Structure 1
Amino acid sequence: MKTVYERADIVPLLAEIFRELGYEGTSLSRITERTGIGKGSLYHFFPGGKEEMAGAVLADVDAWFEQAIYQPLRKDDAHRAIAAMWTEVNEYFRSGRRICLVGAFALDETRQRFSAAIADYFIRWVDALRSALMRAGCPEEEAQAFAEESVAGIQGALVLSRALEDTAVFTRSLETLAKRLDAVMR
């Protein structure tokens, strides 16, 4: 068992705690209880406390999406990048079993505290998808509408899948959204 941690080791652990308990439900006591990492070590890595921890988690999520979703949508072949987006999103959200932490933060009191990071996450996703759709031949106005609908559809599918405790809802929704975009790009 690893007893020496680095900040990068702790961030994924924190992410899962924030996903499960939300920002308000996550206390330093709960973090130490669930990670086994002492308060002194946590403050060493995150002197700003829980807010800095949440910020680090959001930055980590953002970095993953930038590398796996946004960059390919902006730069790669549009058809391949969009197809890869559906696969990556399904894997990242574990077929609907993992909530979107950014989306969850957007829905509670945390929204104000992290509003810039939350808005930026969604704006960049929509913009990157719009860019790919335009490269695939979709007019800009339609590309914007389809990009917004797709990101909203993913988020809604996550909520519905979790509410119904049925991951098939998420998978079916992604398949439906993917077919819609494929039809648009033909």
Structure 2
Amino acid sequence: MVPALAEAFREHGFEAASLSVLSAATGLGKGSLYNFFPGGKAEMMAAVLDDVDRWFADAVFAPLEQVAEPGAAVAAMLADVDAYFLSGRRVCLVGWIGLGSSRDVFADRVRGYFMRWIEALAHCLQAGDVPEEEARRLAEDVVSGIQGAIILSRALGDEAAFGRILDGHRRRLDDALARRD
């Protein structure tokens, strides 16, 4: 049920995802949705964000934070992000929330997601002997670039744009790590 809710929120946004939309997405009646989520849409979104957090913590953040080989960790992050966002065809729900009018309700969650990603990537780069300030700046650029690539790819109707932008970030990260070898 949570993945169906996530896709409904991605497609319609938190504000426009009515109970009718969420009911149709999950195949559950409105009463059943309230039975599972007595807190309504906010509780549904919280469950979706928990699921997103778990996936990113396991697939992206932890490997960057517990880095053994920085180059391999960066390559894995980019491959996992490419797969998760379906090469730019899937909206970043956390980013979507951060832009919408409901951002204040979930501000801590949104901030935490992006901060952890930036900090984990910066940590990985520092483990590869990239100086702290450069690692932080590069991590911010890459995370914001991935988010921008999703938007640009969808706005242009050019799925290949996401891959091109990701490849550019891959080269920048590889170059930063190679300069330290």
Which deviations, in whole Å up to 9, do the C-alpha atoms of 1:71-115 show, x marking residues without a partner? 000113211111100100000000000010000000010110100
Aligned equivalent of 2:166: 174
Regions of 4+ moved over 6 Å: none
Determine helix, strand or coil for the equivalent of 1:112. Answer: coil
Which deviations, in whole Å up to 9, do the C-alpha atoms of 1:28-80 show, x marking residues without a partner? 11111232211122111111000100111111111100000000001132111
Determine helix, strand or coil for the equivalent of 1:21. Answer: helix
CA shift for structure 1 position 143: 0.3
Aligned equivalent of 1:55: 46
How many residues in Structure 1 have an aligned counterpart in Structure 2?
177
2-side partners of 1:177 and 1:79: how far apart? 13
Alignment of 1:117-156 (within 5 A): 117-156=109-148
Matched, 1:86 2:78: yes
Aligned equivalent of 1:40: 31
Report the aligned-residue RMSD: 0.7
* Preserved contact between residue 64 and residue 120 of structure 2 (Cα < 8 Å): yes
Aligned equivalent of 2:63: 72
Aligned equivalent of 1:17: 8
Stretch deviating more after TM superposition (147-156 or 25-34): 25-34
1-side partners of 2:45 and 2:4: how far apart? 11
Matched, 1:163 2:169: no
Structure 1: state its 5+ residue gaps: 1-9
AA partner of residue 106 (structure 1)? G
1-side partners of 2:25 and 2:61: how far apart? 32
Stretch deviating more after TM superposition (40-49 or 83-92): 40-49
CA shift for structure 1 position 18: 0.2
Structure 2: state its 5+ residue gaps: none
CA shift for structure 1 position 21: 0.2
Aligned equivalent of 1:95: 87
2-side partners of 1:141 and 1:33: how far apart? 48
Determine helix, strand or coil for the equivalent of 1:48. Answer: coil
1-side partners of 2:165 and 2:66: how far apart? 26
AA partner of residue 65 (structure 1)? F
* Preserved contact between residue 88 and residue 159 of structure 2 (Cα < 8 Å): yes
CA shift for structure 1 position 144: 0.3
* Preserved contact between residue 5 and residue 44 of structure 2 (Cα < 8 Å): yes
Q: Using the aligned pairs only, state the percent identity.
A: 51
TM-score w.r.t. length of structure 1? 0.94
